[in-house]
Chain A
């Protein structure tokens, strides 16, 4: 099928031009909330990197620097009762969906008071019973899991809920991703899948990852709606993803959003990302979404310079204070750990805990 021939591949915001500031669905209130959350994510992640360098965080640190606009645009359009399965670079989306600076730090620093209690760490966190899925590392796996949550809601006759997940360009090559997308399409689920095409999967460039040229063309193959967003442009992301979420909520079936951007850090904090060519970093793709968003908010007079500095100061203070608190919290105690992977019911029935 030639590019663009699909009847369901609807919107290319680039084709429509980028003159969307302050128009359409993006309200001052949403833009302010989104920006404030991006700021939280950026400042929190800078602190995470510092804590990692000083040896306070063990394991990996995977940051979303440069991808906050896209990530937050999904998070702010979801609401309680929706299902959200964020991935590696979604600190901003997570905070927008209701995760907290406190639980992020507890999970990274291994506090026993965090939602994962030291049993899992870093980005592998969530509260599945509240619709906030805890990703497993295996890329693509969360697509069908979100399908399942939506099927459950359909069984219960709950309408109006949306399920959403994110993935990178590399993750779209997994069989799991294809199976999940196809399943969502077959079941016509109210689902939004956002692909952050940051041009590299760890070190692998896109020309070694897929041969279809444009990931958006995949939407036609699945028989679902595809939309394109400018990944480092907050207003564009808010608009495109807002439309995608609204369409899914309105019963129009799965929505694939593909956004081009760059990650402005390594894959993890051990990676210097030297494989990303300087020319690409200096191209429009390499512009920092936080700078673009700040300009957009100021231009629209949705925020003042004074407000911005007070937000920055407030977020910094909150992060510092929370780090101090979490560092004093107890680590998990191996002697107290419940070394049993069965649930309470299974364990009581099995009697294995007597050993």
Chain B
């Protein structure tokens, strides 16, 4: 039996509900219907009263989760699409994120964001929002790239006392499969060297890890040995693992499906430039989505986001610098 990325999300929530009576799930169409993507399929039946349909009120959905978290619950909010979380932005960044610093009361909640582009998704069902949320102090931002990680990291998110923005990638929902789910996980906030190499480092996260791996495979045909680092959690960021990798390879490309301005890729480059300038043999590079809204048509979308071939091109250029 193989388990998809999406099923791993469902199973993590099932386990969280089973193991912790403080957990409940709140979001649109997630009850009997099982959610727009079926990430809560059958959970309302299995855990009566703990998987609740919400009105189309993202602000109040997050507000309710905050109030419940303050009272000691562990709410998981499902946004129907990451893009709609902007309607709950105020509660996330101004109330959830500030609560512990202001009052000393922790705010343990998880906001699940079905993120990133899929063919035909268009401008309002495709966004990557990790950089936006990572900007605000007080939010943990997770961006799992594998079936195993999406399972263990969602459980980790529920266990954390801080608000967690959980960016799960829709493009990976059905594509990725694993034979079984792990019991062990990397420590919280640790990046993973997914593919070791010596000629250049690609730092990526979420769906871009897979584009980076495919590009690395392509370049191996030409004799290059590319290291791929999966950030896993973009905030807090594991600068140590990034710097150690750059120390081995001397070259850095950061790949992100998000837009370039003030994003995670920019942050990684800023950190490496400031803390590891001497490790670099070439100027650090980044490859982001293009600077337009995410286009609808698959032909445009496929060029808007970084892909294995555009990552491979960027790597070739980097290797010649």
State A186–B67 Cα separation when bound (angstroms). 17
Q: Please, which residue of chain B has its CB at the minimum distance from the CB of A152?
A: B71
Minimum CB–CB distance from A82 to chain B (whole Å) comes to: 12
Which residue from B57, B67, B95, B189 sits with its C-beta under 8 Å from A146? B67
A180 and B160 contact, Cβ closer than 8 Å, known pairs A129-B70, A152-B72: no
CB of A1 within 8 Å of the partner chain? no
Which residue from B55, B66, B162 sits with its C-beta under 8 Å from A346? B162
Are the C-beta atoms of A148 and B59 separated by less than 8 Å?
no
CB of A311 within 8 Å of the partner chain? no
Q: Please, which residue of chain B has its CB at the minimum distance from the CB of A355?
A: B239
Are the C-beta atoms of A349 and B187 separated by less than 8 Å?
yes
State A344–B162 Cα separation when bound (angstroms). 9
State A155–B68 Cα separation when bound (angstroms). 10
Q: List chain B residues, Cβ under 8 A from A126.
A: 103
CB of A145 within 8 Å of the partner chain? yes
Are the C-beta atoms of B138 and A342 separated by less than 8 Å?
yes
State A129–B100 Cα separation when bound (angstroms). 11
Q: List chain A residues, Cβ under 8 A from B62.
A: 144
- From 106 to 161 in chain A, residues with beta carbon under 8 angstroms from any chain B beta carbon are 115-116, 119-120, 124, 126-129, 133-134, 136-138, 141-153, 155
CB of B34 within 8 Å of the partner chain? no
Minimum CB–CB distance from B7 to chain A (whole Å) comes to: 27
Q: Please, which residue of chain A has its CB at the minimum distance from the CB of B95?
A: A136
Are the C-beta atoms of B102 and A149 separated by less than 8 Å?
no
Q: Please, which residue of chain B has its CB at the minimum distance from the CB of A346?
A: B162
A183 and B57 contact, Cβ closer than 8 Å, known pairs A155-B73, A343-B100: yes
Are the C-beta atoms of B188 and A145 separated by less than 8 Å?
no
Q: List chain A residues, Cβ under 8 A from B97.
A: 341
Are the C-beta atoms of A152 and B73 separated by less than 8 Å?
yes
B81-104: contact bitstring with A at CB < 8 Å (1 yes, 0 no)?
A: 000000000110011011111111
- From 224 to 251 in chain B, residues with beta carbon under 8 angstroms from any chain A beta carbon are 236
State A143–B63 Cα separation when bound (angstroms). 8
A343 and B106 contact, Cβ closer than 8 Å, known pairs A175-B59, A176-B90: yes
Q: Please, how many residues of chain A have a CB less than 8 angstroms from a CB on the other chain?
A: 47
CB of B60 within 8 Å of the partner chain? yes
A127 and B103 contact, Cβ closer than 8 Å, known pairs A346-B162, A349-B187: yes
* Interface Cβ pair total, 8 Å cutoff: 156
Are the C-beta atoms of A148 and B66 separated by less than 8 Å?
yes
State A116–B100 Cα separation when bound (angstroms). 11
Q: Please, which residue of chain B has its CB at the minimum distance from the CB of A180?
A: B60
Q: List chain B residues, Cβ under 8 A from A116.
A: 102-103
Are the C-beta atoms of B98 and A350 separated by less than 8 Å?
no
Q: Please, which residue of chain A has its CB at the minimum distance from the CB of B235?
A: A350
State A155–B65 Cα separation when bound (angstroms). 13
Are the C-beta atoms of B100 and A186 separated by less than 8 Å?
no
A321-355: contact bitstring with B at CB < 8 Å (1 yes, 0 no)?
A: 00000000000000000001111111001111000
Q: List chain B residues, Cβ under 8 A from A350.
A: 188-189, 236
CB of A182 within 8 Å of the partner chain? yes
Are the C-beta atoms of B67 and A147 separated by less than 8 Å?
yes
CB of A99 within 8 Å of the partner chain? no
CB of B308 within 8 Å of the partner chain? no
Q: List chain A residues, Cβ under 8 A from B301.
A: none
CB of B203 within 8 Å of the partner chain? no
Are the C-beta atoms of B162 and A152 separated by less than 8 Å?
no
Minimum CB–CB distance from A155 to chain B (whole Å) comes to: 6
State A345–B236 Cα separation when bound (angstroms). 13
A349 and B160 contact, Cβ closer than 8 Å, known pairs A116-B102, A138-B90, A144-B59: yes
Q: Please, which residue of chain B has its CB at the minimum distance from the CB of A342?
A: B162
State A138–B89 Cα separation when bound (angstroms). 12
Which residue from B61, B65, B101 sits with its C-beta under 8 Å from A341? B101
Are the C-beta atoms of B72 and A145 separated by less than 8 Å?
no
CB of B255 within 8 Å of the partner chain? no
Q: List chain A residues, Cβ under 8 A from B71.
A: 83, 148-149, 152-153
Are the C-beta atoms of B69 and A148 separated by less than 8 Å?
yes
Q: Please, which residue of chain B has its CB at the minimum distance from the CB of A129?
A: B105
Q: List chain A residues, Cβ under 8 A from B103.
A: 115-116, 120, 126-129, 134
CB of B24 within 8 Å of the partner chain? yes
Are the C-beta atoms of B138 and A148 separated by less than 8 Å?
no
Are the C-beta atoms of B160 and A145 separated by less than 8 Å?
no
Are the C-beta atoms of B73 and A345 separated by less than 8 Å?
no
Are the C-beta atoms of B63 and A151 separated by less than 8 Å?
no
Which residue from A141, A151, A349 sits with its C-beta under 8 Å from B90? A141
Are the C-beta atoms of B68 and A144 separated by less than 8 Å?
no
7 contacts between A and B (CB under 8 A): A129-B104, A133-B70, A144-B63, A145-B63, A145-B67, A148-B65, A148-B71
In the complex, besides A152-B70, A344-B161, 16 extra interface pairs with C-beta distance below 8 angstroms are A83-B67, A115-B103, A127-B105, A141-B59, A145-B70, A148-B67, A148-B71, A151-B68, A152-B73, A175-B59, A183-B61, A186-B55, A341-B101, A345-B160, A350-B236, A351-B236
Q: Report the 6 A-B pairs with minimum CB-CB distance, sorted nearest first.
A: A148-B67, A144-B63, A152-B71, A179-B60, A341-B138, A144-B60
